[in-house]
Amino acid sequence: MTIRDRGAALSPWRFIVVFGVVSLLMDFVYEGARSITGPLLASLGASATVVGLVTGAGEAAALGLRLVSGPLADRTRRFWALTIAGYALTAVSVPVLGLTGVLWVACALVVAERVGKAVRSPAKDTLLSHATATTGRGRGFAVHEAMDQIGALIGPLTVAGVLAATAGGYGPALGVLAVPGAAALALLFWLRARVPDPAEYEPAPAPPAEDAAPRGGEAVPALPRSYFVYAAFTAVTMTGFATFGVLSFHLVRRHLLAADLVPVLYAGAMAADAVSALATGWLYDRVGPRVLAVLPVLSAAVPALAFTDSVALAVAGALLWGMAVGIQESTLRAVVADLVPSRRRATAYGIFAGVLGVAALAGGALTGALYDRSVTLLVAVVAAIQAAALVLLAVLRGRNALR
């Protein structure tokens, strides 16, 4: 018996939209916090190296721990529990971050917020996938992502307003984010009560599909070599990518922007993220993987512009950073599906998330350490790393591994 047979009040589209509101509220929370992570840690005595290491470690946790949380969700089938636990960790970590005056505690809370994302993401995407099976997965996930971006814009702008009103008070700016966090959790519990098993949205597989399922003795295909070369390309280009924490550290330390304006710039970067993701995704479907060459070029340009003493150039660099993130979060993952057979795709995505996580940690630490030593050296090293990434991409295309 399906949800529809039992006459549930929520259609698949309503489920997606309500879940989208949950994500909007939580993006409000954690994107608001991330927009001021660099200046906040700096106010507690952190160096650029510490900021880069902590923000890189956070991204590594958000990606790498999915190697554990994904299989855990599949094995236990506790999708709602993991989703709620992950959101709760974020909702608690962010307001508490504004209360602490100790650097190491603040660093731990920054990482904890990202751990919350790692815990919830595989389970949340599975819950959504059931509803999108009937609405169309492309359209369903697109609506959810669009609502995410609304929260990613509102959060930093709200934090900027509170910082301006309180003369730079990080406690009130992060404390106000407890409100959307609590609302998101309340809505999530309500949604679970209304739709305890979203798998019932999804039609049962047809008999021919069951007949075509692989037999027990059939060998599982190995991941292709091109996938590992592609993962290497991704690792290299991410290793030469600065985090927004280091960028915002520079903007405030050099007095290019007031701390209350940094979240406004972050909101602009999120808008650039959305436009870039849509544009490169559209181009990838039409011209293929050659569009990926844009990513190393953008990544090399970011420090060359963002770490100058010109406000206009630094702002331009931050917007290019947002454009690069948009490619990382959309088009990079689309390529994996084209490289790997469907039966190994979940494994491939898990490994890929781990690669991204390790590279993000290395990139944050490297760019932060180089910034402390010499901005000129930072720009040169990042340019060399991104040139190597372009070479790897050319090797892939030359072997026709990417079509």
pLDDT attached to residue 208: 41
Q: Name every residue whose Cβ is closer than 8 Å to that of residue 142 and which is 6 or more positions away in sequence.
A: none
Dihedral sign, Cα of residue 3, residue 7, residue 12, residue 18: negative
C-alpha to C-alpha distance for 77 and 309, rounded to whole angstroms: 52
Q: Taking the chain (403 residues) in consecutive chunks of 10 residues, what is each chunk's mean pLDDT?
A: 54 89 92 86 88 83 80 80 94 92 91 90 77 64 70 87 87 93 95 88 54 46 79 89 84 85 84 80 76 92 92 93 84 69 60 79 84 91 93 76 57
- Using alpha carbons only, what angle is made at residue 352 by residues 317 and 202, rounded to the nearest 5 degrees? 110
Question: 42-51 burial by CB neighbour count: b if 16+ within 10 A, else e?
Answer: bbbebbbbbb
Cα distances from 140 to residues 24, 25, 130, 132, in angstroms, run 15, 18, 10, 5
Rg (CA), the chain: 21
- CA dihedral 390→396→402→403, nearest 10 degrees, is 90
The region, left, alpha or beta by phi > 0 then psi within -120 to 50, assigned to residue 195 is beta
Query: Counting Cβ atoms within 10 Å, is residue 333 exposed (0-12), middle (13-18) or buried (19+)?
Result: middle
C-alpha to C-alpha distance for 302 and 153, rounded to whole angstroms: 21
C-alpha to C-alpha distance for 177 and 67, rounded to whole angstroms: 29
Dihedral sign, Cα of residue 189, residue 191, residue 192, residue 194: positive
- CA dihedral 116→153→238→83, nearest 10 degrees, is 20
Question: 91-101 burial by CB neighbour count: b if 16+ within 10 A, else e?
Answer: bbbbbbbbebe
Cβ(27)–Cβ(274) below 8 Å: no
C-alpha to C-alpha distance for 316 and 357, rounded to whole angstroms: 26
Residue 164 burial (CB count, 10 A): 17
The region, left, alpha or beta by phi > 0 then psi within -120 to 50, assigned to residue 288 is left
Cβ(114)–Cβ(88) below 8 Å: no
pLDDT attached to residue 376: 92
The string of DSSP letters for 212-250 reads: TSPPTTSPPPPPPHHHHHHHHHHHHHHHT---HHHHHHH
Torsion angles phi and psi, residue 217, rounded to 5: -85, 0
C-alpha to C-alpha distance for 343 and 228, rounded to whole angstroms: 17
Cβ(331)–Cβ(302) below 8 Å: no
The string of DSSP letters for 65-130 reads: THHHHHHHHHHH--HHHHHHHHHHHHHHHHHHHTT---HHHHHHHHHHHHHHHHHHHHHHHHHHHH
C-alpha to C-alpha distance for 28 and 31, rounded to whole angstroms: 6
- Report the interhelical angle of 331-339 vs 311-329 (nearest 10°): 30
**Total residue count of the chain as it appears in this document:** 403
